[in-house]
Amino acid sequence: MDTIVQNGKDGIILKDDIRRLENTIVGAVAPDFIAIDLKGDTLNLSKFKGAKVVLLEFWSSYCSPCRKSFPFLKNLFQRYHLKGFEIIAISVDFSKEAWISAVEKDEISLWHNVPVAEKNIPGQIKPTDIKANYYVYGVPLQLLVDKNGIIIGKWT
């Protein structure tokens, strides 16, 4: 593209989308993030590096396929958690109330539950928010991260 287009609004958005997409391909190092979980604890992906395999489960309260997968994930979690498997459920909901209600109703507080961004509002995304570095084009989206922090699986 011409440099005028590259430096224009659409070019900048496209460059950022490509950067975030490259961050989420199999073989990429999963970008670290800082998020506050529903228990009020600070969580970052690097905390698990070297110790656990982590499933990043992008979902929303309004996504029926997402919520239908939770019984399977509960089974997986209960079976492998003590062997070094962790789940971080990342809500893309705009409504905190809908997100919390779904977590309670589906009984998924077994694992970490965090929002995709502190404020899921365009223009208010911080560089440490998950949304700043992960390309989430739809849910459900699952990324499996190995103990070295490398994305080894991706499913939509």
For the stretch 6-46, pLDDT in tens is 778 888 788 888 888 999 999 999 999 999 999 999 999 99
Backbone angles phi, psi at 11, to 5 degrees: -65, -40
pLDDT greater than 90 at residue 51: yes
Section 137-154 average pLDDT: 96
Strand order in the sheet with 53-59: 112-115, 85-91, 53-59, 141-145, 151-155
Q: Cβ(88)–Cβ(77) under 8 Å?
A: no
How many Cβ atoms are within 10 Å of 15's Cβ, its own excluded?
A: 13
The pTM score is 0.91
Whole-number pLDDT of residue 43 = 95
Whole-number pLDDT of residue 68 = 97
Question: Which residues are paired to 29 by β-bridges?
Answer: 150
How many Cβ atoms are within 10 Å of 38's Cβ, its own excluded?
A: 18
pLDDT greater than 80 at residue 121: no
Could you read off the pLDDT of 56-106 as tens digits, one per residue? Answer: 999 999 999 999 999 999 999 999 999 999 999 999 999 999 999 999 999
Closest CA to 18 of 135, 153, 140, 138: 135
pLDDT greater than 90 at residue 112: yes
Q: Cβ(112)–Cβ(85) under 8 Å?
A: no
Distance CA 135, CA 132 (A): 8
> Between residues 121 and 142, which one has the greater pLDDT?
142
Section 109-131 average pLDDT: 85
User: What is the DSSP-derived secondary structure letter of residue 104?
Assistant: H
Q: Cβ(86)–Cβ(54) under 8 Å?
A: yes
